[in-house]
A and B are shown apart, each in its own frame.
Chain A
Amino acid sequence: MSTTQRILPKGVSEADFDAALARFREILGADSVLTESDQLAAYSKIMMAGDDADYIPSAALLPTTTEHVQEIVRTCNQYKVPIWTISTGKNLGYGSAAPGETGQVMLDMHRMNQILDVDPEVCTALLEPGVTYQQLYDYIKENDLKLWLDPPAPSAIAGPVGNTLDRGVGYTPYGEHFMFQCGMEVVLANGEVIRTGMGGIENSSSWQVFKWGYGPYIDGLFTQSNFGIVTKMGLWLMPEPPAYRPFIIQYQDPEDIEEIVDVLRPLRIAQIIPNAVVIVHTLWDAGTHVVRKDYYDGKESIPREAIERIKADEGIGEWNVYAALYGTPEQIEVNWNIIEQAFGASGKAKIMYGEEAEQRGGGFEYRSALMKGDMNLQEFGLYNWRGGGGSMWFAPVSQAKGSETKDQTELAQQILGKYGFDYVAEYIVGWRDMHHVIDLLYNRQDPEETKRAHDCFAELIDEFAKRGYGLYRTNTEFMEQVAGTFGEPLREVHKTLKNALDPNGILSPGKSGIRS
């Protein structure tokens, strides 16, 4: 048996694939069409509990212009070649830079990395998909602009366009990224280019300031989808406030999560606390810098007594609320008094800021950086908690009500415990919702543990759905299953749109469970 069997896109003959590759080389130049296994190796590294053999691309294309992308999709239609689009490819734990299935051609947009415009008056930016947060951050610093970014935890190496298209979140008042997106340029599957919002009007000055345009608003169709390829995106940037006060509130008992959420909700809805607050469990707060085996080396879920030892040694709570205030010093003082009163009422909370918070263990330093949009990857320390490079984000949405939070926490702990995994989790608080983000960490070098992680994740999806809880996002291994939890009528609409916009099914087949 040959060990170098050529990988082809599903349903495409070798002759057609060769013809398509020849055309791609004409469009991009030979150096920007990758087909050798050593060139493609970086596109196969995954952290989710899938089989490596299911995520191997047949080639990778590296366009640098919108016109390149137009010509690529026209060629794909001609030869029925499926492409899987990535931007910076650092969606770690959600699929990274790997294709949705073996044989797909990677459309790697990382070299389309121009910062097209930053307007410090209306605080907007227009970017290509390959721009990283670090690149934009450096540009803002070099030009002494008083603007802040809102990176997710992978910050520096990830990018605003890809993260927004996957409806990711950050930690400043601009934390819900899609809410702060404004205007797109999209290459459709037929090779045509559209601009959404006000962008269709020649010489429009309001493309990056008015989201809705005229008629149906369609930007959402190009998020978590495979209806087009976004080649430019506008987003809003936060003006640097005159003052900033990050703070932490610690609670010591598992049951305290109910009180935290119920006290926090009105403060968040009224924008007394304006940012995407996080409520971090012990194991996440410690896991960014503590290794599991220092406290427990068993195969079972880490026991309560070990969690209590971590809390004592590290000086952290069962629940650790990280939030911040922004504005003038006077505004901050007014809001701080409200927060102290609200959280101080029960006598359970320990509220800290400044030097006291900095001296405490846990993640205050890196959380403070993220809540002001600085570049920081400290959260990747979580990958050392168990070791072995396995990670999947299980992220159901909940409403911001303490009783529901308690229910989700207990359900997650029960299922994770059944499979021997730890509850490494946080809640990211939106205005009325929360993203309950659980990092299912496992040793990917161990096949048995990987299989167990896969089964655990599948059960989490099903059991949460039975109680009415759905995921806001998932990795490529489970997109089909998660799409199923949202019901057939919605899937039919997605399929109808797909058939209309991409009848040959060349764009990211299987993304969010959508195929033509």
Chain B
Amino acid sequence: MQNTTTVPSRHLPSRTLGALALFGALLLPPVAANASETREPDEVYRQVCAHCHAPDKAVGPEITIAFPEAAWEARGNYIRNTVRHGRAAMPAFRTAKISDAELDGLIQALVSGELDDAPAATGEE
């Protein structure tokens, strides 16, 4: 088993992990807990949203285009409602999938254009 790769923990020091690993299969250590981590907005977008909403996918509408600051609150509410309730073919995403803190960060990054992934204009006519 010396070449077995186990996921590094962000919660337990490696010394502790090594000791826990000796207990074997019935006492597998909890080595990769993601539930308590808050992912950055670009990571949530990459893992979940981009598969359908990135411009080269075109399954769902583009969602990364910046909105005027005056419309951030309204746009943010629309995104929040769509994520939590779904809309037509768009699935609903639970807090277990995208936490409230992650959704807050995602919304801010989307409305401000921070995640804009539209192809850059070439300037050619």
Q: How far is the CA of A126 from the CA of B33 in the complex (A)?
A: 14
Does A111 contact B91, Cβ atoms closer than 8 Å? no
Give the residue name and chain of the B residue nearest to A386 (CB): B89
Does A388 contact B95, Cβ atoms closer than 8 Å? no
Known interface pairs A111-B35, A118-B7. Does A42 touch B92 (Cβ–Cβ under 8 Å)? Answer: yes
Does B91 contact A377, Cβ atoms closer than 8 Å? no
| Interface flags, B70-100, vs A, CB<8A=1, else 0 | 0000000000000011111111111111000
Chain A nearest Cβ from B66, distance in angstroms: 24
Does B57 contact A383, Cβ atoms closer than 8 Å? no
Interface: A58 (CB within 8 A) = no
Partner of A115 from B1, B7, B57, B93 at Cβ < 8 Å: B7
Does B33 contact A45, Cβ atoms closer than 8 Å? no
Stretch at the interface among B44-52, B104-112, B115-123: B44-52
Give the residue name and chain of the A residue nearest to B83 (CB): A42
Interface: A102 (CB within 8 A) = no
User: 25 A-B pairs, CB-CB below 8 angstroms?
Assistant: A43-B94, A45-B85, A64-B33, A89-B96, A111-B96, A112-B35, A114-B33, A115-B31, A115-B32, A116-B31, A119-B3, A126-B28, A130-B35, A132-B47, A134-B48, A135-B34, A139-B32, A145-B5, A202-B25, A203-B24, A204-B24, A207-B25, A377-B52, A383-B59, A389-B86
- Which residues of the other chain, B, contact A484 by a CB distance below 8 angstroms? none
Give the residue name and chain of the A residue nearest to B51 (CB): A377
Does A380 contact B89, Cβ atoms closer than 8 Å? yes
Does B25 contact A204, Cβ atoms closer than 8 Å? yes
**Top 3 nearest A-B pairs by Cβ distance?**
A383-B89, A389-B88, A110-B96
Interface: A420 (CB within 8 A) = no
Interface: A228 (CB within 8 A) = no
| Additional 5 contacts, C-beta under 8 A, given A45-B86, A130-B96 | A41-B85, A42-B86, A42-B93, A60-B94, A155-B51
Q: How far is the CA of A39 from the CA of B95 in the complex (A)?
A: 8
Count residues of chain A with CB under 8 A from any CB of chain B.
67
Q: How far is the CA of A38 from the CA of B90 in the complex (A)?
A: 17
Interface: B65 (CB within 8 A) = no
Does A113 contact B34, Cβ atoms closer than 8 Å? yes
Chain A nearest Cβ from B14, distance in angstroms: 15
Does B52 contact A202, Cβ atoms closer than 8 Å? no
- Which residues of the other chain, B, contact A45 by a CB distance below 8 angstroms? 85-86, 91-92
| Interface flags, B3-23, vs A, CB<8A=1, else 0 | 111110000000000000000
Known interface pairs A203-B24, A387-B88. Does A119 touch B93 (Cβ–Cβ under 8 Å)? Answer: no
Chain B nearest Cβ from A56, distance in angstroms: 13
- Which residues of the other chain, B, contact A157 by a CB distance below 8 angstroms? 48, 51, 91, 97
